Amino acid sequence: GKGLGVRLSIATLNARHTFAAILAVAILLFAAPANAHVGSPNVFYEGDAGPYHLFVTVNVPAVIPGVADVQIRADSNDVRQVTTAVTRLAGAGSQYAPVPDVAQRSPIDPHLFTSSLWLMEYGSMRVLINVAGAHGAAQMSVPVPSAARRMLPMPPALGALLLTLAIALGIGAISIVGAAARESRLAPGSPVTPELKRRGWRAMAITGVIVAAIFYLAFAWWSADARSYAAVTKLFKPPKLALTVVDGNRLAIRPSPDDKVWLRYKVMDGILPDHGHLMHFFLVRTPALDRIWHLHPSRQPDGSFVDALPSLEPGRYAVFADIVDQSGFPWTLVGSIDLPQINGTPLKGDDCGGDAPALTPSSDSAVDALDDGTRVVWHRDSAAIRANAPMILRFEVQDQNGKPATDVKPYMGMAAHAEIVSSDLQVFAHIHPSGSVPMASLMMASTNSSDSMAGMNMSDMNMNAAPISPELSMPYGFPSAGHYRIFLQFKRADKIETAHFDTVVN
């Protein structure tokens, strides 16, 4: 079998390193946070659980097993109770949720509910949210990629304390056995003979060898377990890409042959279309972040991808390739390439591109006027943006006269797409009005639940639907402080537009 769903055999590693993982969780507070999937690991989702509109944030732990913090914000006062549980996204066990936890309502904000859930397995999971309120009961499923993003270090002080206690236990065991062999059969007050003393020393020596062997085996197991955990952690780091330009303007795309841990699981052999495409491929020119291309390469018989590039200006481009494997787990493959001037083919289908001024330390914007007169406004709050604070990014598309545009249409089945890139390229996120959850994963989650999306599939989405609202919103939370550029892609009539916005996150 292929794909992460079948590869849930990885979860059998849990049994081998349960102690190490639990200890890692115990010392989580001593460790610095880590980034994964290009620096934006948390899940943001906005949608409807029946009649209730919710904004869900899942803060994914850095280690597995680990505790995920879940925040659910309701739009109205109609919600009386929220419960949460976690299951696999698909396959064995996905239909059998554990006893749900009751989310706690905030005493300050009655619309906010919070809960904590243990993620015990690697792979594609889902958080089941059950809502009870004035309009009855409803359910929502939110896919969550559960992955170890780092191996937490042992704090030196804690390591020294544990080693000291272990040595003390070993010495105590040797002393107890020696005393038992030497004196356990003596009557009270009887002297210890030289033979008894020798017998005690012999017992202590034998026990010392046994204790030393136990110490050796324990350290050997710990090291082997640490290597296993490190291998799993490496698996879930953003895989590398190998990129080659052929025939002047064709880009060959395949996983790097050096990424042997990731290649071993043959993820690329089983991937799902997301928004109608097997791969969403992004080229961002660095360091200015002044060009972006959102392309959709074609899969080849050998499993690689090839894209006929549009005309590109020369420069170094950071590359991000989004795919979803057959278990619903999202991956972002990363790389970079130096490109010469490319005399390519015109854009077609859902491919698009955009340009912007070079990003500078002082760049900050809330309005972008495009070449055809389209004006896009980012309705920002007056307060400064803070890292790790869930928020709704709200945009408005206006026509040449500053009026709300009346010809905005869905782009690949969504009102818009956005790419968020940090100036240091440590963060890349591809989001939509529903949030950071891939549509393919969301469809799988809904299949096994009673929420409002159950039974839908990508073909239900009319790519040429009637005009939609020019007000575009997307849930997100910037994962760290820094300077960010947002590229917003939407469609007016039959033209795909790209607007840009810059912001500093505190």
Q: Is the pLDDT of residue 31 over 60?
A: no
Domain spanning 356-506 has what CATH number? Answer: 2.60.40.1930
Chain segment 306-322, per-residue pLDDT in tens: 999 999 999 999 999 99
Report d(CA 393, CA 388) in Å as an integer: 14
* Confidence band of 189 (pLDDT split at 50, 70, 90): confident
Chain segment 445-473, per-residue pLDDT in tens: 877 555 544 444 444 444 456 789 999 99
Q: Residue 22 has what pLDDT?
A: 33
Question: Which of 81, 69, 80, 72 minimizes the C-alpha distance to 53?
Answer: 72
Q: In which order are the strands placed within the sheet that holds 241-246?
A: 241-246, 250-255, 305-308, 298-299
For the chain, the farthest-separated pair of C-alpha atoms sits apart, in whole angstroms, at 108
Chain segment 270-288, per-residue pLDDT in tens: 899 999 999 999 999 999 9
Q: Residue 134 has what pLDDT?
A: 94
CA 177, distance to chain mean position in Å, is: 52
Report d(CA 31, CA 34) in Å as an integer: 9
Q: Residue 261 has what pLDDT?
A: 82
Q: Residue 101 has what pLDDT?
A: 95
Q: What's the CATH class of domain 6-146?
A: mainly beta
Q: Residue 449 has what pLDDT?
A: 58
Average pLDDT, the chain: 87
| Cβ atoms within 10 Å of 322's Cβ, excluding its own | 22
Token pair belonging to 171? 């010495």
The string over 294-317, giving b where at least 16 C-beta atoms fall within 10 Å of a residue's C-beta and e elsewhere, is bbbbeeeeeebbbbbbbebeebeb
Q: Residue 185 has what pLDDT?
A: 82
Q: Residue 330 has what pLDDT?
A: 94
Q: Residue 2 has what pLDDT?
A: 36
Report d(CA 388, CA 365) in Å as an integer: 21
Q: Residue 445 has what pLDDT?
A: 84
Q: Is the pLDDT of residue 32 over 60?
A: no
The string over 481-498, giving b where at least 16 C-beta atoms fall within 10 Å of a residue's C-beta and e elsewhere, is ebbbbbbbbbbbeeebbb
Chain segment 483-500, per-residue pLDDT in tens: 999 999 999 998 999 999
Q: Residue 451 has what pLDDT?
A: 53
pTM, full prediction: 0.83
Q: Residue 152 has what pLDDT?
A: 78
Report d(CA 220, CA 416) in Å as an integer: 53
Which of 170-174, 222-226, 377-381 has the least mean pLDDT?
222-226
Bond preceding residue 188 cis, omega within 30 of 0: no
* Confidence band of 190 (pLDDT split at 50, 70, 90): confident
Instruction: Please check whether residue 470 is in contact with residue 396, taking contact to mean a CB–CB distance below 8 angstroms.
Output: yes
Question: By percentage, how much of the chain surpasses pLDDT 70?
Answer: 89
Q: Residue 212 has what pLDDT?
A: 94
Name the CATH topology of 238-355. Immunoglobulin-like (2.60.40)
Which of 292-296, 438-442, 474-478 has the least mean pLDDT?
438-442
Q: Is the dihedral of CA 115, 121, 122, 125 positive or negative?
A: negative
Q: Residue 184 has what pLDDT?
A: 86
Q: What angle do CA 232, 265, 153 make, to 5 degrees?
A: 10
List the domain boundaries for the chain.
6-146, 156-235, 238-355, 356-506
CA 383, distance to chain mean position in Å, is: 27
Chain segment 37-63, per-residue pLDDT in tens: 588 999 999 999 999 999 999 999 988
Over residues 31-41, mean pLDDT = 56
**DSSP track, 426-483:** S-EEEEBTTBSS-HHHHHHHHHTS-STTTT--GGGS-TTPPP--SEEEEEE---SSEE
Over residues 83-99, mean pLDDT = 88
How far from 259 is each of 238, 242, 262, 453, CA to CA, in Å? 10, 10, 6, 37
CATH topology match: 6-146 vs 238-355: yes
Q: Is the pLDDT of residue 30 over 50?
A: no
Q: Residue 324 has what pLDDT?
A: 94
Over residues 369-378, mean pLDDT = 95
**DSSP track, 299-332:** EPTTS-EEEE---B-SEEEEEEEEEEETTS-EEE
Q: Is the pLDDT of residue 28 over 60?
A: no
Over residues 367-396, mean pLDDT = 94
Positions of E strands within 121-215: 123-133, 136-146
The radius of gyration of the chain's CA atoms, rounded to the nearest angstrom, is 28
Helices (H), 142-189: 156-183
Which of 73-77, 123-127, 190-194 has the least mean pLDDT?
190-194
Q: Residue 397 has what pLDDT?
A: 97
Q: Residue 37 has what pLDDT?
A: 52
